[in-house]
Chains A and B, each alone.
Chain A
């Protein structure tokens, strides 16, 4: 059974703090993704990675960075958290070499920045 896990379900941080969100997948997938989801705006892609140490900007990368040192782990970093980064953050993974391309999502991290 496919599994994507995220380090926290709920997180409360103060403005200006550095925030780390971690994601781990056990499906040996090449691709990993970070999204944020806000009411009325849907899912928006922040960054994705198609291989270890590789990354590409998504639609809204400003204020975020990522790290992928191991194939199974993809981290999202908020260098200096701001209140407009309060959101639901979702990690996903997918195969790049298989026959199917669906993304599998983790349970999400609800981040509140005060």
Chain B
């Protein structure tokens, strides 16, 4: 069974204090790993797709990386507007397009 574990559950940072969010996964064969951002009361917003180990993608202060067992979302010099819940999901090969989601990491950035 595919599994996704995100850690820590919650993270509080000071503005400008860089950190990383972890997503560990177990999947029979990886088709893709996805990162989403979710603001309170809203639907998840797509951020990145990673397909193979060693791949990296960047968007503003966010950088996602992938190994064979985990993915990291690095946040450089975060701002209060980066406060949100970050979700990780995997899609297995032959999964008929279904995603398996982690429970998310709630990030709070204090000014």
Chain A interface (Cβ within 8 Å of chain B)? 4, 31, 33, 40-43, 45, 48, 50, 56, 58, 88, 90, 92, 94, 96, 100-108, 110
Contact = CB atoms under 8 A, between A and B. Distances in A.
Contacts of B45: 105
A93 B102 CA distance: 19
Contact of A101 (B31, B36, B87, B103): B31
Given A96-B97, A102-B46, 5 more contacts: A58-B98, A90-B44, A92-B43, A101-B32, A106-B43
Interface of B: 31-32, 34, 36, 41-46, 49, 87, 91, 96-99, 101-104
Contacts of B46: 102-105
18 contacts: A33-B98, A41-B103, A42-B101, A42-B102, A43-B44, A45-B98, A48-B97, A48-B98, A50-B97, A58-B98, A100-B49, A101-B31, A102-B32, A103-B99, A104-B46, A105-B43, A105-B46, A106-B43
